[in-house]
Amino acid sequence: MKPELLAPAGTYEKLIWAVQYGADAVYFGSEFGSLRAYAGNLSLDEADKGLKYLHQNGKKGYVTLNIYPFSDEYAGLIELAGKLNDMAADAFIVSDLGLVFELKKAGIKTPIHISTQASTTSSQTVLAYKELGASRVNLARELSLEQIKQICKDIAGKNIEVETFVHGAVCFSYSGRCAISDYLTGRRANRGECTHSCRWNYSVVEESRPDEFFPVFEDDRGQYLFNSKDLALFEFVEPLSQAGVASFKIEGRMKSVHYIASIVSLYRQLLDGKKISGEECLKLLGRVKNRGYSAGFMKGAIEPADYSREKSLSNSGAIFVGDITDEKIDAGCICHTRNKIYAGDKLEVLTPNGNISEIVLPKPLKTAEGQECEFVNNPQEIILPQSLPAFSVLRKIV
C-alpha cells in the first residue's frame, strides 16, 4: 500500500493548498495545545470548515494536541478534544502520556497518533503505545534507515502504523525537546513558543573576564554552532516505502503556500513513482527558502556537513511573486501579487499537477481594476492574458 503524504496546514488557506497539490492528509493546530503557537492555527469554526473540506475531497485532517501540558490544563484540552471529535477529526497528534490516558478516560474515540516529540526509537515503545490505544507513532528523527526497517519488521501485522518526517526544518536537540528558547527568551519551546534560538550567532565568555565577549569565528560572518540544515529525504522515499512506513510527514506549518505547493508537489510525484534525479530534486527544492539540505540521521549519524555553520538566514533560488486565484474571467486569469513584479518579467509557473512552465508578463501590467502600470506589489491583483490553472504559483528565478 502506498504511504500517505502528510502536509502541514498552519492556516485554512494552507490546508486548501496542501490538498490541491496532492497531500493525502494535513495536520493543523487549533485554539490551544499546539507546538506551533505562532503558526496561525485554526479557530474551531475554521477547523470544522477545514475538516469538511478535507473529507469532501477524500482527505484526512489530524489535529495537534502535542504540547506537554501542566496539571491544570488537561480539562481544557479534553473539552477541546471533545469538540474536535464531534467535528470528525481523523486523529489527534499527542506527545504527553497523561493526555493519552485522559482522552481514553473521557471516552473520546478519535484515533491517537504519537508525536515525534515523544522520542520513540524502538519497536518495543511503538508496541507499548499500541497497547495504550495509539494507532500510529511518528518515529524519532534520530533513527537511521536500517533502524526504521527493523522497527517496521518487528511491528508488521501488529495493527499499529509508523510515520516519519521526510522534509523540513530540524531542531538540533533530541526530537525537538529543546529548552534554549526557554532560558534565553522566556518563551517555552515545548509549549509552542520556540524562538529558534539555535539559529543565532554566538560568542563565548571566559570565566575570569565575565564582561568580555569573544566572538567564535569560522569566517567574517561568525559561527552558527547549532544551526542544522533542513531535512530532505527524497532519496529515501522508495526504501522507506518498501520498509513499511505508513505516512511521510512534511514539516512547515509556519511556511508559505509557495513552500507547501513546491514541497508537496515534489514528494507527491516521487510517491506516485515518477523518477526524478537527486540533482533535479535539489534544484526544485532550492526554489523555496532553505538552510541547505541534509539526510539527517537516515544514513546512520550526523556529520559536520549536516550543520550550516556559516549562516542562519535561509537562501532561495526563486522569489515567490504571485498565485492564481480560482476566480474565473473571460480572457486569462487573475493573479494575486505576493512580491514586486515588473512588466516584461519572465516567471516560472508551478501548477498542481507538478508541471512547470514559463511565462512573460505583458507590458504594461493591468490591475484587476483596469489600471495600467509598470510594476505591482502585494496585495495588488493583476490580469494575466494566459489561462493558468487555479492554485498555480508564480516565481521569479534569481
- Which of 111, 119, 159 is CA-nearest to residue 138? 119
Q: Specify whether 137 is located in the same domain as 240.
A: yes
Question: Is residue 327 in a domain?
Answer: yes
300-311 in b/e form (b: 16+ CB < 10 A) is eebeeebbbbeb
Paired with 380 in beta bridges are: none
pLDDT in tens, the chain (398 residues): 899 999 999 999 999 999 999 999 999 999 888 876 666 789 999 999 999 999 999 999 999 999 999 999 999 999 999 999 999 999 999 999 999 999 999 999 999 999 999 999 999 999 999 999 999 999 998 899 999 999 999 999 999 999 999 999 876 655 555 666 665 676 666 666 666 666 666 666 767 777 776 555 544 444 445 567 889 999 999 999 999 999 999 999 989 999 999 999 999 999 999 999 999 999 999 999 988 898 988 988 767 677 665 555 567 899 999 999 877 777 789 999 999 999 999 999 999 999 999 999 999 999 999 999 999 999 999 999 989 999 999 999 99
**pLDDT given at position 312:** 52
Q: Specify whether 169 is located in the same domain as 234.
A: yes
- What's the CA gap between 47 and 187, in Å, rounded? 26
Structural domain that includes position 356: 318-397
Cα–Cα–Cα angle for 157, 163, 165, rounded to 5 degrees: 155
Q: Specify whether 331 is located in the same domain as 237.
A: no
Domain holding 49: CATH number?
Answer: 3.20.20.70
CB count within 10 Å of CB 379 equals: 8
Last residue of a domain, one of 306, 335, 353: 306
Q: Specify whether 336 is located in the same domain as 286.
A: no
**pLDDT given at position 183:** 59
Question: Is residue 165 in a domain?
Answer: yes
The backbone torsions φ and ψ at residue 258, rounded to the nearest 5 degrees and listed phi first, read -65, -45
Pairing of strands 213-215, 247-250: unpaired
Question: Is residue 191 in a domain?
Answer: no
223, with CB counted inside 10 A (0-12, 13-18, 19+), is middle
Question: Is residue 181 in a domain?
Answer: no
Distance of CA 390 to the CA centre of its chain: 22
Distance of CA 379 to the CA centre of its chain: 25
Q: Whole-model pTM?
A: 0.87
**pLDDT given at position 382:** 95
**For the chain, how many structural domains are there in total?**
2
Q: Give the position of cell 504571485.
A: 322
Residue 25 grid coordinates: 492528509
**pLDDT given at position 11:** 94
Q: Specify whether 80 is located in the same domain as 147.
A: yes
Paired with 322 in beta bridges are: 337, 394
**pLDDT given at position 219:** 47
- What's the CA gap between 23 and 92, in Å, rounded? 18
**pLDDT given at position 215:** 59
CB count within 10 Å of CB 390 equals: 14
Q: Specify whether 11 is located in the same domain as 120.
A: yes
